[in-house]
Structures are given as C-alpha cells and as structure tokens.
Amino acid sequence: MKYIVIVEDEVFMREELKDMLSKAGYKVDAVESFENVTEQLLSLSPDLILLDLNLPCVSGFQICREIKQKSAIPVLVLTSRDQLRDELHALDLGADEYLTKPCRKERLLARVANVLKRYEGRTNLLEGADFLLDRQTYTLYIHNQSVILPKNQGKLLEVFLIQGQDIVTKDDLCLAIWGTTEFIDENALQVNLTRLKKTMSSLKMRQKIVSVRGVGYKLTMEENSYE
Amino acid sequence: MKYIVIVEDEVFMREELKDMLSKAGYKVDAVESFENVTEQLLSLSPDLILLDLNLPCVSGFQICREIKQKSAIPVLVLTSRDQLRDELHALDLGADEYLTKPCRKERLLARVANVLKRYEGRTNLLEGADFLLDRQTYTLYIHNQSVILPKNQGKLLEVFLIQGQDIVTKDDLCLAIWGTTEFIDENALQVNLTRLKKTMSSLKMRQKIVSVRGVGYKLTMEENSYE
DNA sequence: AGGAAACTTTCATTGAGTGTAAGTGTTTAT
DNA sequence: ATAAACACTTACACTCAATGAAAGTTTCCT
C-alpha cells in the first residue's frame, strides 16, 4: 500500500484530503507541526508528498527544493496560488506535478496515481550532481547510460552522497564497506577509493573525491559552484 | 541536445510548436503521415513525444497506449479536448503530462523541461506488466526493489519484452545470448531459461514464461486479463 | 507404449571483484 | 633540506557467482 504524506496547514482541507486518499486505498499521514518539515518528511519517507505552498513558518518552495536535493521522493504541489510564475518556479525546483485548488477529486486521484506509477521502482535512488545511484544494486545512471558499480565502490559512493558536501572519515568508509571499524585495513580502503575515483573520472562525473589530509575525504564539484 | 517529436495534424499549430521548441534549444521533428504513427515514433526514438489526441486515421489514445507498451519514451498530451474524462483516460494510459490548448508558451516549455528532467537516466528501460528492466545493466525494478539479473537471464527477458505477447523462437533466444544461431546448444539455452523462470517466480512477477511445444516460448499473465 | 521435446540437477570452469604486499609520491614540521 | 607521516599506485593471487557440459528425469502427443 502506497504511503502519502500531506503538508497543508488549513485543517478542513487537510482532513478532506486525508479522507479522500484513504478511501482511494492509500495510507495517509499529515504533517502537524510546521517546523522542520523537511526533516519530518525525510524520516517518514513516504512514496509521495502532497505539498501546499502557503505555509506558516516555511516556504513550500523551500521544502520542495530540500526534498528534491536530499531524496527522490515525488512531490505533488497542490495550492490555491494559480500564478503562472509559481507554477514555473515549482516545476523548476523539480516538483512532479502542480495542481491548483479547487481541484476535482477525480483529477487529483488520477494525478496522484500517475505520479506514483511513474516512480514505480524508483525509490532508493540517491541523487548526485549529474547522476543517480541505486542504493540496492549500485546501478549508476549518468549521461543517459547505466553502469553497475562493484559493491565496494557503490558503498563508498553511497556514503559520500548521504553526507552531502561534508567530510567523510575513514572510519565511516570502513564501516560502510566492512561493517566494522576494528582492524581497519587502511590499505584495502585506499585501493577501493582509488578504484572508485578511476570509475568516476572515466564516467566524467562532475563530482570528484578529494582527500582532506589527516581527516578523511569529501566530494567536490569541478572548480566553481558550491551550492 | 534533447530530441522531441510532435504528433499534430493541424499545420499552423505544428509549425508554431516546432518553432517554439527549436528556439528553446530542442531538436524537433513532426510526424508528417498519420499512418503507422507508432512505428514512426519508435524508429525515431525521441526523448519526448508531444501528442495531440484528435488525429486523422488513428486515435491519439491508441498511440499513447502503444508507445507506453513498447517503450519508456515520455508522452506529453497536448490537446484541445478539455474533457476531464479524456484527461483521466490519457493519464491512465500512462501519459506523463496532459495540457490543454491554448496553452501559455512558458507553461508548455516548463512542463516539457520538467518531464525531460524526470526522465533523466531513464532511457533504456523496458516495461513489463509489473516491473521495469534496464537494457544496459539488466537491473530489474519490481515491488519497490531492484535486483541485478545475470547477463544471460537479462538478455532472455529483454527479448520477451520486446516481442510483447508474441511467441519467441529458440533461434531468437540463442541469437540474443550468443549472437548466432549456428551451433545452437539447446541444452545451455534450456538451462538459462530455467534459471530465468526461477528468478521470475521467486520475484513474484505477474508474467510467466510458458513453452509452446515445437515452436518456442512466450510471456503470459497469471490467469485473466490479456490486454 | 514409446519417442520427442521439455525440464532438472550436479559439477567443473571462468572471470570480475577483492585484499595483500610492496612499492612510489606528496605534504608538513622542524 | 630532511624525515616522518600520510596518500596513492600497481601487480598479483584468491574467491565466489555465473556459465555451460553432462547425464538423468518428466511431460506431452500420437
């Protein structure tokens, strides 16, 4: 059963949506507090997020941006703001659908089903700057082609992506590959890192692994444009 | 540069769309003859199809259905029919977007860009009844999980998916695995088929491989509902 | 019943992925 | 400038999943 989380501050609307979606066979929750919405959403990790733009405290746009940066969860924006520029902005941030309230029940349900269908089998994808990584198989999607990474390389890349631009320690990496930090084989880790670097550059990925002497490693972009 | 193909019978509209999309930096073509539209589209294999519903000869719905059955090319339906039931039907057939004419240029371009973005790295996916198969890596997406098929099993499944419900001969299968029909090793093929069958059933896939004595094999659904 | 086609199981071979080992470079502090 | 610590590279041997060979069993059809 697919799991949908609603982000909507107006109580009546929220309950109506909950009701409608439950009856359509979805498991539904709604965010109750509007602080840390993104964190709440990420920890609930639903199959779909239904997002209003006018919220107390935070901007819906901001939430959408953060969700899209940190996950591959589909976002359906449902709002009463029917300005074209809002729509364009939301789509540009990666929203999967933009509907304006009021909205026919059938249309909403159809769009919800459609988005979910499109995302079938796309959970568990991590996003990099210019690629996607399947966390289960370590299949890497880049430049319209796909490549399977060897398990160790996949695990390493996974850690880097989860950490974002932060520094990753050798312990983190050993933990990811071998499940323990005891008896660290610095050398084996080194070899695996070298292999991943080689793979990344041969695939012309925009991000590179650089070492931070004495501390660990981190992902950076080619020259310009940190976010 | 992304490649878009337009299916629209009205000349003025067609030219305007072509112009607009070209200026936005896409490579654009339009279908000129409205017979065998699906075949034309498949052989052009664009990154996106812009589809009108009212066409001479064929139904736009039919084209949409066929495209979605035989490929994973995104389809954006752009039509002057703004009946809700048309929209629901199109979405149900797997259309990725439904817009009604007239439509603001910015909105159209935004939706086009949005759909293309969502499909990034999704080319080369074949659709089965309840799963997707990556043709390059033979990564299989089903029930929200992903599995890598051994190369031979992947090649076999690929042939079945391309053939649809038609019968596949042993020659076809040998050709797919070993690139030749000479020196067919019936037994090796047999073993590989058995392995694929085992994999498919352990993944609880809705489709099964059944043998057609003396001819070959084909994919069928559990009991009911051929399309 | 009997022959042909389809299927199953077991086992040896193979090759990509991995860790080991023994190097070579590079940075930093004195 | 030099040494010591850290970072990187290369070559090789081992391992395990994927494959095909072989031999046997089951199912189908006349």
Q: Does residue A227 surpass a pLDDT of 70?
A: no
CB-strand contact B148/D, under 7 Å: yes
Among A59-68, A133-142, A172-181, B113-122, name the one with the lowest average pLDDT: B113-122
Q: For residue range A27-39, what is the model confidence (pLDDT) as tens digits? A: 999 999 999 999 9
Task: Mark the nucleotides of strand D covered by protein, meaning any atom under 7 Å from a CB.
Answer: 6-11, 17-23, 28-29
Alpha-carbon gap, residue B51 to A192, rounded angstroms:
48
Strand partners, B93: none
Sort B42 into a burial class: Cβ within 10 Å, 0-12 / 13-18 / 19+. Answer: middle
Q: Does residue A71 surpass a pLDDT of 90?
A: no
- Residue A190 CA to its chain's centroid (Å): 29
- Are A36 and A59 contacting, i.e. CB atoms less than 8 angstroms apart? no
Among A81-95, B10-24, B117-131, B154-168, name the one with the lowest average pLDDT: B117-131
User: What is the side-by-side order of every strand in the sheet holding A207-212?
Assistant: A168-169, A216-221, A207-212
H runs (alpha helix) in A164-204: 170-178, 186-202
Q: What is the mean pLDDT of chain A?
A: 91
pLDDT at B185: 83
Alpha-carbon gap, residue A85 to A215, rounded angstroms:
45
Predicted confidence band of residue B121 (pLDDT cuts 50, 70, 90): low
Among A22-31, A152-161, B95-104, B192-201, name the one with the lowest average pLDDT: B95-104
Q: What percent of chain A has pLDDT above 90?
A: 74
Alpha-carbon gap, residue B56 to B62, rounded angstroms:
12
Measured in angstroms, what separates residue A214's CA from nucleotide C30's C1'?
Answer: 19
Q: Does residue A226 surpass a pLDDT of 70?
A: no
Contact B104 A84 (CB under 8 A): yes
Binding-site residues on chain B for chain A (CB distance < 8 A): 84, 87-88, 91-92, 94-96, 104, 106-107, 110-111, 113-114, 117-118, 120-124, 131-132, 134, 136-137, 139, 141-142, 144-148
Mean pLDDT computed over B10-18: 95
- Are A100 and A80 contacting, i.e. CB atoms less than 8 angstroms apart? yes
Contact A137 B124 (CB under 8 A): no
Q: Does residue B181 surpass a pLDDT of 80?
A: no
Alpha-carbon gap, residue A7 to A225, rounded angstroms:
31
pLDDT at A223: 57
Among A21-30, A114-123, B174-183, name the one with the lowest average pLDDT: A114-123
For residue A80, count other CB atoms closer than 10 A to its CB.
13
Distance between first and last Cα of chain B: 36
Alpha-carbon gap, residue B114 to A209, rounded angstroms:
30
CB-strand contact A213/D, under 7 Å: yes
Distance between first and last Cα of chain A: 36
Predicted confidence band of residue B225 (pLDDT cuts 50, 70, 90): very low
pLDDT at A224: 46
Residue A10, token pair as written in the block = 């107006």
The amino acid at residue B180 is T
The residues near A8 (Cβ < 8 Å, ≥ 6 apart) are A14, A17, A30, A50, A51, A52, A78
pLDDT at B224: 46
Q: Does residue A44 surpass a pLDDT of 60?
A: yes
Q: What is the mean pLDDT of chain B?
A: 91
Separation in Å, CA A198 to CA A139, A147, A191: 16, 14, 11
Listed residue (B144, B128, B137, B135) closest to B200, CA to CA: B128
Q: Does residue A123 surpass a pLDDT of 90?
A: no
Q: Which is more confidently placed, B224 or B106?
A: B106
